[in-house]
């Protein structure tokens, strides 16, 4: 990919105007927590230029779509959002950015009404986002991520409409899994400076955020690119936990290969770390993991989680699990089902395998590809297995007391979440989002525990 590409858009997209000084902007965010963090940086940037943020469903002068490209379905939804924006206001400026824009900028540019396509290297270029459309020149700005390394230095003071605050500490991935295109969309792994991360967390905590969610593309690789070495994810978490304040820290997702003894010991001793881990697992079968080019086998996962649970018996697990990777036999799939049950994965995030052009897995012969209907059926069985684990976990909590963070407040029933990710409906008087509340679980509705303030008769 060249450092920049210049193409012409459909003529209809060139007749629009945008108020350069002020107007209404709508931002749509797809995919991961890193995108959420980056969208908040975009929001901060445009608000600083006197733009007013509105809901994406409302008429706006500027639409920014921060896309995902994990699956073909994500690509389709990105195109749909762009068309929706154009339909809502045909005269608006429409900017498409994010991973889909990075991987297939021409497909984004071909959507009638799109004015500008920004790659991930240009995503936070507020000048480009707000610049008026031009008849000639750069309408696609997509750089070579191997050559252009950008670490955002902005400090967020808060998150609009969020109780939890996401803090990105790392960008990119060096792994190159055979099914995944994200290492191309995000470039090589780069770690944010520890001082920058600490300043960001300190700012959010001082502004009242009670939960900090640490996110990145490959979190466990944090620090691998530091010249002096020795400062890794465990050390960063240790320093973040030492920040003064009544808050908790949640790690968004981690590769099983990165669960070190040091990390487990920190979880055992540090109360600010949520007893909840989300594994980037993908499969429970060692041969499939090898063909995916993962960095571990099934036995390694079992050993790490057994060790983790010995240190933290109350640990709750989530996991990304893929159904229908090429060559996945029924026996291999059964290993994934067994892993969900054996490791008690209560919150599985199940993906149906989706071919991504440019990945080795997409080139596996058609005879080795799992039929789409079978992929979907297996995904449903994985979800049901997770549901069974989850119901047992939640039912076992009835009668117990726990501290929860109120996520939505008001009169009547409110929503809260415990450190181990347990969701609850709070039967209480008047609470605000962001409040702590000690509760006792007294019932279960679906996947939500019913809770009342501890000590109530």
> Tokens standing for 85?
């924006």
In 133-275, DSSP assigns E strands to 140-141, 164-171, 190-191, 211-216, 248-251
Query: What is the average per-residue pLDDT within 437-441?
Result: 94
3-state SS class at 149: coil
Nearest to 342 by CA among 417, 281, 400: 281
Taking the domain 11-141, which CATH number applies?
3.40.50.12160
| Backbone torsions φ then ψ of 182, nearest 5 degrees | -65, -30
3-state SS class at 335: helix
CA dihedral (436, 439, 443, 446) in degrees, to 10, reads 20
* Spatial contact of 13 and 133, defined as CB atoms under 8 Å apart: yes
Q: Where do we find the tokens 């499969």? A: 283
Q: Where in the chain do CATH 2.40.50.110 domains reside?
A: 401-453
pLDDT range class, residue 160, cuts 50, 70, 90: confident
End-to-end CA distance of the chain: 66
CA 198 to CA 235: how far, in whole Å? 12
Which pLDDT tens digit goes with each residue over 357-396? 999 999 999 999 999 999 999 999 999 999 999 999 999 9
**Residues near 147 by Cβ (< 8 Å), separated by ≥ 6?**
3
Nearest to 286 by CA among 253, 256, 260: 256
> Tokens standing for 331?
């026996």
pLDDT range class, residue 137, cuts 50, 70, 90: very low
* pLDDT value at residue 374: 98
pLDDT range class, residue 133, cuts 50, 70, 90: low
Evaluate the CA torsion angle 132, 136, 142, 144 in order and state its sign: negative
State the chain's mean pLDDT as an integer: 90
The topology (CATH level 3) of 401-453 is OB fold (Dihydrolipoamide Acetyltransferase, E2P) (2.40.50)
Which pLDDT tens digit goes with each residue over 70-92? 999 999 999 999 999 999 999 99
Residue 421 Cα distances to 250, 389, 405, angstroms = 9, 14, 10
Which pLDDT tens digit goes with each residue over 272-309? 999 999 999 999 999 999 999 999 999 999 999 999 99
pLDDT of residue 9 exceeding 50: no
Q: In what order do the strands lie in the sheet with 248-251?
A: 190-191, 164-171, 211-216, 248-251
Q: Where do we find the tokens 């691998």? A: 224
Which pLDDT tens digit goes with each residue over 43-60? 999 999 999 999 999 999
What class does CATH assign to 164-395?
alpha beta
Q: What residues form DSSP beta bridges with 348?
A: 319
Cα 136 vs. chain centroid, distance in angstroms? 36
Q: Where in the chain do CATH 3.80.30.20 domains reside?
A: 164-395
* Spatial contact of 412 and 373, defined as CB atoms under 8 Å apart: no
* pLDDT value at residue 249: 99
pLDDT range class, residue 410, cuts 50, 70, 90: low
């Amino acid at each position: 990919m060249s450092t920049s590409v210049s193409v012409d858009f459909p003529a209809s997209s060139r007749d629009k105007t945008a108020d350069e000084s002020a107007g209404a902007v709508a931002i749509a965010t797809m995919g991961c927590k890193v995108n959420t963090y980056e969208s908040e940086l975009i929001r901060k940037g445009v608000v600083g230029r006197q733009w007013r943020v509105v809901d994406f469903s409302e008429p706006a002068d500027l639409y920014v779509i921060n896309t995902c490209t994990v699956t073909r379905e994500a690509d389709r939804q990105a195109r749909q959002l762009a068309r929706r924006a154009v339909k809502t206001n045909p005269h608006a400026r429409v900017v498409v950015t994010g991973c889909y824009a990075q991987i297939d900028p021409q497909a984004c540019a071909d959507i009638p009404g799109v004015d500008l396509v920004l790659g991930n290297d240009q995503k936070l270029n507020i000048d480009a986002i707000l610049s008026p459309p031009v008849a000639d020149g750069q309408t696609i700005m997509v750089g070579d991520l191997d050559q252009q390394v950008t670490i955002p230095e902005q400090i967020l003071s808060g998150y609009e409409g969020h109780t939890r605050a996401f803090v990105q500490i790392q960008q990119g991935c060096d792994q190159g899994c055979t099914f995944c295109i994200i290492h191309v969309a995000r470039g090589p792994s780069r770690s944010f400076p520890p001082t920058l991360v600490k300043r960001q967390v300190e700012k959010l905590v001082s502004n009242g955020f009670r939960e900090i969610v640490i996110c990145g593309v490959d979190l466990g690789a944090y620090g691998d690119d530091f010249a002096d070495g020795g400062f890794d994810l465990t050390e960063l978490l240790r320093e973040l936990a030492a920040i003064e304040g009544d808050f908790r820290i949640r790690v968004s997702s981690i590769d099983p290969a990165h669960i070190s003894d040091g990390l487990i010991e920190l979880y055992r001793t540090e109360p600010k770390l949520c007893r909840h881990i989300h594994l980037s697992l993908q499969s429970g079968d060692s041969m499939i993991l090898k063909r995916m080019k993962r960095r571990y086998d099934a036995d390694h996962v079992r050993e790490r989680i057994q060790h983790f649970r010995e240190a933290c018996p109350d640990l709750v697990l989530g996991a990304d699990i893929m159904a229908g990777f090429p060559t996945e036999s029924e026996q291999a799939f059964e290993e994934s089902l067994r892993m969900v049950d054996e490791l008690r994965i209560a919150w599985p995030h199940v993906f149906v395998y989706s071919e991504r052009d440019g990945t080795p897995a997409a080139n596996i012969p058609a005879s080795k590809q799992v039929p789409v209907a079978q992929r979907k059926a297996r995904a449903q069985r994985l979800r049901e297995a997770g549901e069974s684990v989850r119901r047992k976990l939640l039912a076992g909590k009835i009668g117990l007391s726990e501290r929860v963070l109120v996520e939505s407040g008001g009169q009547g029933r409110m929503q809260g979440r415990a450190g181990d990710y347990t969701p609850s409906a709070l039967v209480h008087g008047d609470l605000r989002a962001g409040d702590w509340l000690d509760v006792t679980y007294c019932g279960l509705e679906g996947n939500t525990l019913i809770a009342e303030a501890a000590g109530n008769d």
